[in-house]
Structure 1
Amino acid sequence: MKSLPWPIELMNSRRLVCLVFALTITAANAEGLPQISSFTPHFGYKEGGTRLQIQGENFSDSMSVLIDNIPCADLLLYSPKELECTAPPHEEGIAPLTIKTRSGAFTTSRHTFAYIQELVPSPGYFRLLVGTKQNVTVRGGQPPYSFRIAKGDGTIDSAGVFTASLTPGAGLIEIQDSKNNLGFVPWEIFSPVAIVPETQTMKTDHVLKIGVMGGVPPYRLSKISGEGEVLGNGFFFRSPFNPGKATLKAVDSLGNSAEATIHFEKGPELRKRKIAVGNEHSCALIGGKILCWGSNADGQVGTLLVKRNTTAPVKTTGLDDEAVSVVSGLQHTCALLRSGSLKCWGDNRFGQIGDGTLQSRREPVQVIGMDSGVTGVVAGEFYTCAVAYDRLYCWGKNDKGQLGLRNRTNARVPEVVPDIGKYITAVGAGASHTCVIENFANVKCWGDNNNGQLGRGDRESSLTPIGITDISGKLEEIAAGWAHTCALVSGGVKCWGFNGIGTLGQGSKKDRFAPVEVSGMSRGVHFLTGGQYHNCATLDGRVSCWGYNYQGQVGDATLRNRTMPVPVKGLGAYAQDVATGSNHSCAILEEQEVACWGENYLGQLGDGTNEQKSAPGRALLKKAK
C-alpha cells in the first residue's frame, strides 16, 4: 500500500470525520473484460460498511468486485454498466479496486479508493468547574481543525482551549477539519461543591439537615473533626449533649470537596422537671434515678417490685439510662433520659403511654418514635406532649381537641401538632387544653375553653392553636390546670380561665377570659406550676401557693381556700422545683430533700403515713427500696 501524495476530496454522509488514504489505480486494457470507469464515494471507514456505487462496462452476475483482494459484499447488479456493493473492513491506507471474472481474469480500476480513520476529539466528553479551562485535542480527519461553541456558554480558541463560563450549564463544541468533516464534544459546567451555609449553629442534642450544592452528585458527607455524628448515609448530623463544634466534609462524585464548621450551643428548651405530682402519686428525680410513691393502681410508680400503693418512695425500674426530667399526668408518669429517649408507664386507657396500645404498663416502656432527639416532655390529665427535633408531638385523650391535631380522635402514638412553629420554649398541659410559648414571645392555646382557659376572650373551644394577644413581655413558662392557665411573664405571673375558688390568685372568684396579674407576683418568680384547682410558684426562692385548699394543698397550715398567694410554711430551704397535682403539692429542696403537703390517703406525700398535712412534711427518700 502507498500513502496519498496529494489531498483527496472527501464526502461524509454520516457526518463523521475520517483520515483519508489514497488508492492507486491502473486501467484494464483487455478488450471485452469488465471495466470500471468511476465509483463513489472515493473513501470509506476502516471498519467497513461503506456502500459503493460503481459505473463501467461489461458488468455481469458472473463477476466479483475485490478491494485489496477482499470481496466486496452484497453485490447488486443493476445493469451491465452499474452495480453496487459494500466495502469490507480494512486497515487504514490505500486499497486497490479490481474485478475478477469467473474465468479468473482481473481488471483494475484507474480510480482510487481509500480506507480512512474517524476524526476523534479528546476528551470525548468533559465536566469542569466554572471559570476553569480544558484543552481539547483531535486526531484523524484532515488538519487543520477549527473549533466553535455550538451550544451553551463558554469560549474556545483556535488551539482548542475551552474556558468555562461562570454559570453552571451544559453545551457542545463543534470541531471541523479542512474537508468540512465534523466532530462534537459535549460538556458540563458545574459550580464548586458547597455546604450551605458554610457556618451553622445548632442546639446540643439535636439533629440538623445538612445542605450540599454544586459539584456533580451524588455526594458523600463525613465528619473530619469534633464531636457528634453523621447519621447513616443521609445528610443529617446529630450534635452531642455538650456545647462544641465539628467540621464536616462533603465530596461529590468527581472528588471535589468542601468543608463546613457546625457549632452546637445549649439552646432554650422545655424546663427539665425534678419533681412530678399526679392525682394520687408523686415522683422525684434524685441523682439521675427516679423515685415514686403513693397510688400504684395503674402501675404509675413504675416497678414490678411493688404491686400495691406505697407510702414511702421506691425506685422506678426498667430505665436503661440516666433520667433528666420526670412528669406525671393524672395516673401515668414519663421520664426523659439523657440519651434523648422518652419512656412512660402507668395508666394507658387513652393511649397516653404512647406505645401503640391501650394496655397499662407497670414498668417503663419506650414511647414509639421517641427513642432519640426528645428535649422536653409534659403530661396532661390523660395525655402527653413532647418536643423532639424542634417539633411538638402529642398523644392520648383528645375528646376536647387537646392534642391539637385538628380533630377529637384519641392517639395511641405521638403525632405532630401541625400548627406550631419549630422554636418551642415552653408547653403547658392541663385536663383538656394545651398551651405553648414560641420563642419566648407568643402564647398559643387550643382545646376546651368552657371557662376561658384559652385566653381568647370568650368560651369558644378550638381544635387548632389560637394566639393570645393580651399578653406582652418575655414569656418564660406556662402551666395549665383543670380549666385555667398561668404564665411566667418577665419575672411575674399572669393567669386566666376558671376562678371559682380563687385559682387565678388576684383576689376574686370571677372567671377571666384574658390574662390578669397574680397579686404580689409581678417580679422575682422563677418556677411556676399549675394543679387541678391550685397553683404554686417560687418567689425569690421561696414557695407560695394559692387556690383550692380543702386538703391542705396550699401548704399554709390551714384548710382555707386562698384567692391570693400565701407562703408555704415550714419549708425552711430554697426550692429547686415545685409541682402540683389534684390535691397535693411537692417541692424538691437543697440537699436533695423532698417535701410534700396536702391529701395523703394513698401515701402520696411519701412520709410513710396516710395522714393529710396542711404544711410540708419530708418524704422518706433515704428508705427508698
Structure 2
Amino acid sequence: MEDTRTYVDPASLSRKVVSIAAGEAHTLALIGDGSVYSWGRGTFGRLGTGSELDRLFPAKVEFSFNSRSDETIKIVGVSAGSYHSLALSDDGSVWSWGHNTYGQLGVNGENSLVPSLVEGFHGINPTDGSITKSETQLKISSVKAGGNMSLAIDDLGSLWIWGNCPPQDTPNEGQEFSLLTTYTPIPVWHFHGQTVVKVACGSEHILALVSSVETHTGSDLVCYSWGNNNHGQLGLGDTEFRAVPEMIETFNTESSWVAYELACGAFHSSVLAYKKEEDDSLKSMCWTFGLGENGQLGQGTTKKALRPDMVRSLRVNIWLISVDCGLFHTSVVSSVGDVWSWGMENGLGLCPEASEGGDALTPRVISCNGQNGSNGSNFPDPIQVACGAAHTVLLAENGYKLWSWGRGRSGVLGNGQVNDFFDPNLVLWPPLHEDFEKNEPQTISEKSSKDVTEIEEELYIMEHYASILHGSIFGKPFDKANNIPDSLKNSGTFDVGKAWEDMLESCDYDTLVRLETFYRNMLVVVKDKIMKRKI
C-alpha cells in the first residue's frame, strides 16, 4: 500500500510560527517544533529568559523539569498577560513566568524569571462540584492570560481561574466590585456540566464561549460575560458588575448570530460572529461594546456601548479570522489578508503625545506596503493578530513572517529598534544564529551537487540577513529595487568605500541622525564588551 503521508522538514518547523501573543510590552511566539521565543520589555521576568533585561530580538525560552532535566518539553499554546506569560505543553501541563504579585503564576511566591510548572488542577466531584485531591492532575487543553489573572480550560471542558479574579459569590446589595487574589487554580462553578470552548479576559472582566448543552456539537455556542462592568464591557445593557457569568443576549441560543472568536481590552470587548444567509453562505462581522472614548469600538463615536453593536464600516462579504484588543485599540484580520485597526492614536494604541493624527473612530486599513514582494496592501496567508498595550503583531505567510507596528520602546516590535513605527515592519525572524547553523559545503563539487531548493533556501537566508542589517540601521526593510548599490548592480563587484560615500551623500537629515544613533549605540556595546573582557 502506498504511503501518502507528507514529510515535514524539521528545519522548516523550527522557522514556522504557529501562534503569537502580546502582553503590555512583550510578545511571545510559538514555533512549529514546540519551542517558544519572546522579546520586548523584560521587567518582572515576563520574557522567561532568566533575567529582567529587555530583548530587541526574539530570544528562546527554555523549559525544563527540575527532576527530569533531560526530558524534552514541547509547547503547544502560549498566552500573555500584562506582565506575565503562560504556556501549555503537549502533555497537558501549564507553565508560567513573570509578575506574580496577585498569584497569576499559580503559586504563592515571588516573580519568576523562568518558566515554572503550575500545579493544582485536580478533579471535580460530579455530584457536588467539589475539588477531589488526587496524585494525577487534569490535563489542560487551553490557557489564557489577562491583566493580572490567568485562566485554563481542561480536557473535560471545565474552566479554571487564578490570580486577580472576579469573586464567584453573589454580592450583597450595595456592595462595590473588587477583585480577589487566588494563588492556586479554582474552577468556575457556574459552568459545571457544560463545555467551555474559548475564553478571553481583560483587566477585570471575562468573556467565555460555552456550549448550550452538556455535550458540545460545534454550533451550539453561547457567549457569557462577568466581572467589572463600569463601562458596559460585559455587553449586558447596563454598568452593573457580575460575580456570576451571565449570557449576552446578542449571542444567546435564540440569536441568528453565532460567536466564534473573543477578545478583551482594558475596558472594552470584541466578538467575531457569523450567521447563515438565505443562500447558505456565512456572513462574518465584528461586534464591539464597552468603553469607546478613544474610538476603540470602531463605531464612529467616542460613546460607550452597553450592548454589542456591529462595526459596520468593515468591508462586507469577507470572513474575519482573528481579532484582538489592546488597552485602547482593536485589530481584525480577514482570511484574504485585510487588516484593520481602530482606537487610540490612529488605531495604533499609542499615547497622544505620539501625534500620529488623533484617534481612529472607524477602522483604518493597515497596509502591507508591498513588503510581501507585491504591490498589494493585503498580507499574504494571514493567521493571527495580537495586540499589546500599544503595539500590534501580525502573523502571516503561513507562519513564516511576522510584522509589527506601534510603540517600539524596550524592543517590543522585535525589529532590533526601540523607535515607534506607524507602519508595519518585519520582525527579525528567524533569529540570525539559527539561519547560519548549517555547515557550508567545503568544495565546489559539494556546492554544485545541491538541488535547486537548497540553493533557493540559502539565497533566502542571505536576503533575510541583508534585510536584518538594513532594518537595524535604517529602521525599514531592505528594498531590492532601490537599496542595492549601483556599483554592485552595474559591475558585479562591490566598492564599499564608494557605496558608503554615495549613501551618505543621498541621506536626508533624519536618516543621518538615525545612522549616528545606531553607530553610537553600537560603539557603547562594543566598549562595554571590551571592559568586561578586561575584567
2:118 is matched with 367
Higher helix share: 2
Residues 245-284 of structure 1 aligned to structure 2 (within 5 Å): 274-284=19-29
Amino acid at match of 1:447: G
Superposed, which structure 2 residues align to 1:426-505 within 5 Å?
426-439=198-211, 440-471=220-251, 472=255, 473-490=257-274, 491-505=284-298
Q: Secondary structure at the match of 1:507?
A: coil
Tell me the equivalent position of 1:584.
391
Post-superposition offset of 1:336: 1.1
Change (3 A) 1:480 1:605: same
Q: Which residue of 2 aligns with 1:569?
A: 367
Superposition pairs for residues 341-420 of structure 1, below 5 Å?
Answer: 341-354=93-106, 356-370=107-121, 372-388=138-154, 389-398=156-165, 401=166, 404=168, 408-420=179-191
Identity fraction in percent: 27
Change (3 A) 1:463 1:273: farther
Identify the structure with bigger relative contact order (alpha carbons < 8 Å, sequence gap 6+): 2
Report the CA distance shift for 1:409/1:476 in structure 2 as closer, same or farther (over 3 A). Answer: same
Alpha-carbon deviation of 1:329? Answer: 0.4
Structure 1: distance between partners of 2:366 and 2:185: 37
Q: CA deviation at 1:357?
A: 1.5
Provide the C-alpha distance between the structure 1 equivalents of 2:431 and 2:287, rounded to a whole number of angstroms: 39
| Kept in 2: contact 1:425–1:476 (CA 8 A) | no
SS in 2 for 1:526: strand
Q: If the length of structure 1 is used for normalisation, what is the TM-score?
A: 0.53
Residue type of the partner of 2:140?
A: V
Q: Which of 408, 423, 433 matches 2:195? A: 423
Deviation per residue, 1:115-143 (Å, 9 max, x gap): xxxxxxxxxxxxxxxxxxxxxxxxxxxxx
Partner of 1:482, secondary structure, is coil
- Counterpart CA distance in 2 for 1:359 and 1:541 is 44
Alignment correspondent of 2:302: 509
Cα distance change, pair 378–478 in 1 and its aligned pair in 2 (3 A): same
CA positional deviation for 1:406? 5.4
2: CA distance between counterparts of 1:318 and 1:325?
13
SS of residue matched to 1:470:
helix
Unpaired runs of 5+ in structure 2?
1-16, 65-71, 122-136, 172-178, 212-219, 275-283, 372-378, 434-535
| Structure 1 partner of 2:45 | 299
Alpha-carbon distance in 1 for matches of 2:359, 2:296: 9
Spell out structure 1 runs of 4+ moving beyond 6 A.
none
Whether 2:317 is the aligned partner of 1:534: answer: no
Return the letter of the residue paired with 2:294: I
Cα-to-partner distance string for 1:321-354 (whole Å, 9 max, x where unaligned): 2111111000111111111111111111100011
Pairing partner for 1:317 from 51, 55, 62 = 62
TM-score normalised by length of structure 2: 0.62
Which residue identity lines up with residue 578 of structure 1 in the other structure? V
Deviation by residue 1:442-494 (Cα, 9 ceiling, x = unmatched): 21111110000111111101111111113331110111111111111102111
Amino acid at match of 2:358: R
- 1:226 aligns to what? none
- Identify the residue that residue 348 of structure 2 maps to in structure 1: 552
Letter of the 2:340 counterpart? S
Structure 1 contact 453–498 (Cα < 8 Å) conserved: yes
Corresponding position: 1:620 with 2:458: no
3-state DSSP class of the match of 1:450? Answer: coil
The correspondence of residues 156-235 of structure 1 with structure 2, limited to 5 A, is none
Taking a change above 3 Å as real, the CA distance of residues 507 and 616 of structure 1, as seen in their structure-2 partners, is same
Structure 1 unaligned blocks of 5 or more: 1-271
Instruction: Give per-residue Cα distances to partners, 1:262-284, cap 9 Å, x unaligned.
Output: xxxxxxxxxx9711111111111
327 and 580 in structure 1: CA distance in 2 versus 1, 3 angstrom threshold: same
